[in-house]
Chains A and B, each alone.
Chain A
């Protein structure tokens, strides 16, 4: 039971390059989330998927796209990376949506640097 896994752990991109961050969970959770964490700031929600087949924008969606591939997997794509997207990206999952008291489980994070 690995929980929430993310790949890659580290990535360096040049401005304008594209890439996809992968996330998978093995807890049979309905809801999945992508956050970014910048120094001195709280985590900010990029996109979330309340259930398989649905996705919604969070607080900072610009420059990103997501795909809920199936119940287990939720990917985040940067089409044309910019230095402002340098950050640590966390994927999370929960059984119930955000408004519940259900626990969110976070992955280990992906450290992305855009030069």
Chain B
């Protein structure tokens, strides 16, 4: 079954600290993997998109990694800010134009 599992479900960290969010998938055949940030009450916003051949992609303080062999991805946030408080969603695209969304990790950054 094509699934995307994200962990942890929720996370609280102090401002300025780093954190890593995990995404494991069973989607096959794999086309690409995306990370989105969704602020409360808003639509998701794209952070990174990685294909099979890419194993790292950065967008400012956000760095995504992909291990296509183990079917795992992570999103690392460096020097967290209060504005990083949001839900982070991992999405895997199957060939055949099917997107499989994870349920998301809710991150709260405290001052």
Contact with B along A92-104 (1 / 0, CB 8 A): 1000011101011
Q: Are A103 and B93 in contact (CB under 8 A)?
A: no
Beta-carbon contact of A42 and B95 below 8 Å: no
Question: By the criterion of a CB under 8 Å from any partner CB, how many residues of chain A are at the interface?
Answer: 21
Contact A99 B96 (CB under 8 A): yes
How far, in angstroms, from A99 to B29 measured CA to CA in the complex?
12
Which residues of A32-87 are within 8 A (CB) of B? 40-45, 59
Contact B93 A98 (CB under 8 A): yes
- Chain A interface (Cβ within 8 Å of chain B)? 4, 40-45, 59, 90, 92, 97-99, 101, 103-109
The answer to whether B1 has its CB under 8 Å from any CB of chain A is: no
- Which B residues touch A99, using CB under 8 A? 31, 93, 95-97
* A-chain residues with CB within 8 Å of residue B102 when the two chains form the complex: 42
Contacts A98-B98, A99-B95, A99-B97: A42 and B43 contacting too (C-beta < 8 A)? Answer: no
Distance A99 CA – B34 CA, assembled complex (angstroms): 12
Cross-chain contact B46 with A104 (CB below 8 angstroms): yes
Q: Of A42, A98, A103, A109, which is within 8 A of B103 by CB?
A: A42
Chain B contacts for A98, CB-based, 8 A: 93, 97-99
Considering the complex, give the chain A residue whose CB is closest to the CB of B102.
A42
Do A103 and B49 touch across chains, with their CB atoms under 8 A apart?
yes
Alpha-carbon distance A106/B104, docked complex (angstroms): 16
